[in-house]
Amino acid sequence: MSSEELTVEQYIDNAIASGESKEKAARQLYKLIENGDVQIVEPKQASNLLEYLTKPYGVWVWAVVLFIALVLSSIYLIPSFAPYVYIRYIAGALFVLYLPGYVLLEALYPKADELDRLERLALSIGLSLALVPLVGLVLNYTPWGIRLEPILVSLIILTLALAVLAAYRKLKYIILSSHIH
């Protein structure tokens, strides 16, 4: 087996067999990865959206779904008096001011290294501040109007649709990058 086909475990075992400590071998491997000399790839890449959602890199989609469930439970299940009402305020603020922009940004920039964390945070908030008023504007001209339930349902549908789009784009990037290497 050539060095290009070694698993991480085999690399560490070989380094230990040659007299190095696990920590030193791990540091060397980390430096090789950092320098771009070694690339760690998952043995079997996802080939469809369902596989993507069951792999570790699809966890962010489930986190979005769980956060939406938290928002729904904070509105309908948690009592609306102090101190419980603060959970509703925090979850609602994050849901309105961050989540729609975050999933749109994930759809626009599927590669993790395209933007750093601070840029993603700032753009997520900015995009949410642009998307949410547009949802309100559209709802204003519907029979449902601008009330809690129509806004909540509309933002949930928008957020989940953008999350599925983002997951699909990330899957396509993973498939494309696995064919290039």
Give the tens place of pLDDT for each residue, 144-170: 999 999 999 999 999 999 999 999 999
Side-chain half-sphere exposure of 167, counting CA atoms within 13 A: 26
The structure tokens 């601070």 sit at 118
Q: What pLDDT is stored for residue 181 in this prediction?
A: 46
DSSP assignments along 105-139, one per residue: HHHH--STTSS-HHHHHHHHHHHHHHHHHHHHHHH
Closest of 160, 24, 49 to residue 103, by C-alpha: 160
| Domain extent listing, the chain | 3-35, 49-180
List, for residues 63-76, the tens digit of each pLDDT value: 999 999 999 999 99
Structure-block tokens of residue 22: 């696990």
SS3 string of 19-30?
CCCHHHHHHHHH
pTM of the model: 0.76
Task: Give dist(CA 59, CA 174) in Å, integer.
Answer: 15
pLDDT of the chain along its 181 residues, tens only?
Answer: 444 577 778 888 888 888 888 888 888 888 888 887 877 766 677 888 999 999 888 999 999 999 999 999 999 999 988 899 999 999 999 999 999 999 999 999 998 889 999 999 999 999 999 999 999 999 999 999 999 999 999 999 999 999 999 999 999 988 887 665 4
